[in-house]
Amino acid sequence: MPDASRTGGSTAQRPQRSPLGNILFGAGVVLVLATMALGAFAGVAFMEKLADLSPLSAMVPDHGHTALVVGGIAAGGVIGLTLPTILFGMARGNEQEPPVGPGSALLKMLALLVFGVYLLVGSIVVSQVGWILPQGVTTLVAVFAIGFSWMPLAMVPWEKLGLGGVVGDRFGSRLRSNSHEAD
């Protein structure tokens, strides 16, 4: 008879959520999606004001405004998506993972703020393409450049820099602990 650990099957069943737990989970998902959408709108409004009413207005070409909109959507959406998740992590814990402490949450929020600034500065840099390209092409370049600009950050070994608990360790440790336990 094959062993359950070799075939990949699990003999332990996951505990079922109560109806109240399902309602709370659904409310949490709706809240996170709402803050993500509101963050994206706020990011766009911020970048539009920055391009029109600030000293940067002379630096951003007319065809580069859409790059700022793309950057505002990215920064606001990421901040709006991640901030409530960090706050939920402070309130919720279990036997395997304790709640996120205030110091760790503050570091995560600071890292999130730095990432948002990184995206906004990247959108200002990409908007400079608007001096030589038409608006449609500038928008296309902005979507790809800003959308993929975070990839070098994903390849940095954050654990070796002492920031493993700040950047992505909460989900990564869960994935590593469940993979091939019985090898």
Q: What is the pLDDT of residue 167?
A: 54
Domain range for 65 is: 21-169
Whether 10 maps to a domain, the answer reads: no
Alpha-helical segments (H) within the chain: 4-7, 19-53, 65-91, 102-127, 135-147, 151-154, 169-178
CA 21 to CA 181: how far, in whole Å?
29
Mean pLDDT across 80-96 = 80
CB atoms within 10 A of CB 5: 13
Selected residue with higher pLDDT from 152 and 176? 152
Structure-model confidence comparison of residues 171 and 115, the more confident one:
115
* Residue 7, in any domain of the structure: no
- 183 in a domain, yes or no? no
123 inside domain: yes
pLDDT attached to residue 182: 47
Highest mean pLDDT: which range of 50-64, 85-99, 115-129, 147-161: 115-129
Residue 142 has pLDDT above 70, yes or no: yes
Q: How confident is the model at residue 176 (pLDDT cuts 50, 70, 90)?
A: very low
Residue 166 pLDDT > 60: no
Q: What is the pLDDT of residue 12?
A: 60
Percentage of the chain surpassing pLDDT 70? Answer: 78
Number of domains in the chain: 1
DSSP 179: S
Model confidence at 156: pLDDT above 60: yes
Q: Is residue 115 part of a domain?
A: yes
pLDDT score of 3 more than 70: no
**pTM tops 0.85, yes or no:** no
Output the average pLDDT for the chain. Answer: 77
DSSP 14: P
Whether residue 49 lies inside any domain: the answer is yes
Residue 133 makes CB contacts below 8 A (sequence gap 6+) with 63, 141
Distance CA 39, CA 118 (A): 16
